[in-house]
Chains A and B, each alone.
Chain A
Amino acid sequence: MEISYYPGCTLTGSARELDESFRAAAGKLGLTLKELPDWTCCGASSAHMVDEFLETALPASDLMLAQQLGLDVVAPCAACHLRLKAAAIKIAQDEQLQAEFPFKGEIKVLSGLEMFADEDRVAKLRELTAKPLQGLRVVPYYGCLAVRPPEIVEPDDPENPMQMDRVLDALGAEVVDWPYKTDCCGGSLALTRTDMVLKLSRKLLDMAKLVEADAMVTFCPMCQANLDTRQEDISRETGSLYQIPVLYVTELMGVAFKDLRVRTWFGKHMVSPEKLLASKGLI
């Protein structure tokens, strides 16, 4: 099956390991990803702050590329997915925008989770798992934009989403229930109010520690970057050690599928998950 692929800027930069592990996992499932030719930035968390037209126009131009290919489009980054989907909805409601971007809405905009959490694919993930992630206690962390605004993102449940839980369960991991699945890590103010973001991230990390999770798992590149890169600062500020690996779901698929590239991906993390996974006999 063919799906068009919108990696977005972050996946070509600081979230390269998400791009590579996503492509690898999709390939394993028999999905052919066609990268949108010459895609451009969706405007992410900034366009809506500065200009109403650009908020829709930037992602709309990418929707037009997907429409030309005639394929559903998947955007692994939660922010890209939200922007593309919000643009599709706005175009459908606004004649002026429709005249400029004749997007017919016949193709679907999928989130990475939605693509993998489909019932048949979860069964396939289970089948493909050569190295079940036994004994690995993980907390699924969805963050904000994977579930909100619910009327745009359309998650299975905005307060207690289960898509990632199901995927992790199929891979054989021990999915730990915790209360902060969809709490905000503060990512959008990472550079501008780092002090505030450290507090919000610390709250999540503390809870992960309290429920004795070995690792946090996410699909959002902003959450991952934020939680992974700030643990050293938080350790320094608090005087206690924070060293919880923050993994992408698709990286764990790589572990379960015995993909040898996992070590390259893990090399990009600030808090390396290698020691943990080796101690559980998983790599």
Chain B
Amino acid sequence: MQQTGSSTRSGKVAPPSGELASIVNQCYQCGKCSAGCPVAPEMDLLPHQMVRLAVMGDVDRIVQSKSIWLCLTCHTCGARCPNGIDVPALLDPIRHQILRGNIETREPQVPAFHNAFMKTVRRFGRVHELSLIGAYKMKTKTFFDDMKLGWEMFRRGKIHIMPHSSKRKAEVRELFNKSSMK
């Protein structure tokens, strides 16, 4: 199931292996993925460059890029690639290794958000938006961003004070215990 195998240059993050590698290796650098990528203008490595680096086994440069966290997982690249290469499918296993290995990255607020999200799921079995936003803001010290918006949403009944937790939250906790997010 793990799509990663042999070691990289730094030895910390493994390049794609197995089925994923055989798909990614089909890339002939046509650039269609980058042409349609909505965040390409903000990226320091373009999607087709990330694919090339992965083929070359140089994942370290992907790890150190902003792009790995700026990718929106919109799957536009994958839907259009003539070889069926989906960039987020390539990035996910690299992201997992970054988080597991506590490797320093650019744009750290993005993984901080996803971690906060998963922690509220582990706790309640469901996402409680207020706890999630609170945890994220504590972690990134961005307390005052979007305060007015938050209040307007609360006024409209879009944010609840109390979490709705699921009766099956113990089962969810079990699933987390079997994962890297124990």
Partner of A54 from the list B111, B169, B176 (CB cut-off 8 Å) is B176
Task: List B residues 70-124 near A (Cβ within 8 Å).
Answer: 70, 72-76, 78-79, 86, 88, 92-93, 95-96, 99, 107, 109-115, 117-118, 121
Q: Which single member of B78, B113, B149, B166 contacts A38 (CB below 8 Å)?
A: B166
Q: Which of B75, B113, B178 contacts A148 (CB 8 A)?
A: B75
A233 to B167, CA, bound (A): 39
CB under 8 Å from chain A, chain B span 51-82: 70, 72-76, 78-79
**Ranked 7 nearest A-B pairs via Cβ:** A148-B75, A184-B74, A9-B127, A46-B117, A46-B114, A144-B74, A38-B167
A192, B145: Cα distance in complex, Å: 11
Cβ < 8 Å to B, chain A residues 128-172:
144-145, 147-150, 158-159
- In the assembled complex, how far is the CB of residue B64 from the closest CB belonging to chain A, in whole angstroms? 18
Which residues of B come within 8 Å of A, CB atoms?
A: 1-3, 38-39, 42, 70, 72-76, 78-79, 86, 88, 92-93, 95-96, 99, 107, 109-115, 117-118, 121, 125-129, 133, 136, 145-146, 149, 152-153, 156-160, 164, 166-169, 171-172, 175-176, 178-181
CA distance A183 to B37 in the complex (A): 10
Task: Give chain B residues whose Cβ lies under 8 Å from the Cβ of A158.
Answer: 79
CA distance A57 to B152 in the complex (A): 35
Residues of A within 8 A of B93 (CB): 52
Q: Which parts of A167-188 form the interface with B (CB within 8 Å)?
A: 183-184, 186-188
The reply to whether A188 and B73 form a contact with Cβ atoms under 8 Å apart is yes
> Mind listing 6 A-B residue pairs with CB under 8 Å?
A13-B129, A40-B171, A41-B126, A145-B75, A192-B109, A268-B157
- Extra contacts, 12 of them, besides A43-B121, A52-B2 (Cβ < 8 A), are A9-B126, A14-B153, A40-B121, A40-B126, A46-B118, A50-B111, A54-B175, A149-B75, A159-B79, A184-B38, A191-B133, A192-B107
Name the CB-closest residue of A to B110. A192
A44 near B117: Cβ-Cβ < 8 Å: yes
Whether, in the assembled complex, A189 has its beta carbon less than 8 Å from a beta carbon of chain B, the answer is yes
The answer on a CB contact under 8 Å between A196 and B126 is no
Q: In the bound complex, do residue B72 and residue A184 qualify as a contact, i.e. CB atoms below 8 Å apart?
A: yes
| Structural contact, B92 and A52, CB atoms closer than 8 A | yes
**Cβ of A191 and Cβ of B136 under 8 Å apart?**
yes
Contact with B along A241-283 (1 / 0, CB 8 A): 0000000000000000000000000011110000000000000
B118-A268 in contact (CB<8A): no
The answer on a CB contact under 8 Å between B126 and A188 is: no
Given contacts A13-B160, A148-B78, A186-B72, A57 and B1 within 8 Å (CB-CB): no
Number of interchain pairs (Cβ within 8 Å): 168
Contact B118 A189 (CB under 8 A): no
B39 touches A196 (CB 8 A): yes
When distances are taken between beta carbons in the complex, the residues of chain A under 8 Å from B133 are 191
- Whether B38 lies near A186 (C-beta < 8 A) is yes
Query: A50 — which chain B residues lie within 8 A by C-beta?
Result: 95-96, 99, 111, 114-115, 118, 180-181
Instruction: Please state if B172 and A53 are interface contacts (CB–CB under 8 Å).
Output: no
State whether A57 and B179 are in contact (beta carbons under 8 Å apart), knowing that A40-B169, A270-B152 are contacts in the complex: yes
Q: Which residue of A lies closest to B164 (CB)?
A: A12
CB distance from A2 to the nearest CB of B (A): 22
Which residues from B are CB-within-8-Å of A51?
96, 118, 179-181
Across the interface, do A14 and B86 meet the contact criterion of CB distance under 8 Å? Answer: no
Interface centre among A145, A192, A193 (most CB of B within 10 A): A192
Are B70 and A193 in contact, CB atoms less than 8 angstroms apart?
A: yes
Minimum CB–CB distance for B115 against chain A, Å: 7
Instruction: Give Cα A99 to B28, complex, Å.
Output: 38
Chain A residues, Cβ within 8 Å of B117: 44, 46
Q: From the candidates A38, A148, A268, name the one contacting B158 in the complex (CB within 8 A).
A: A268
A196 to B176, CA, bound (A): 32
Report if A47 contacts B (CB, 8 A): yes
Which residues of A in the span 44-72 have a Cβ within 8 Å of any Cβ on B? 44-55, 57-58, 61
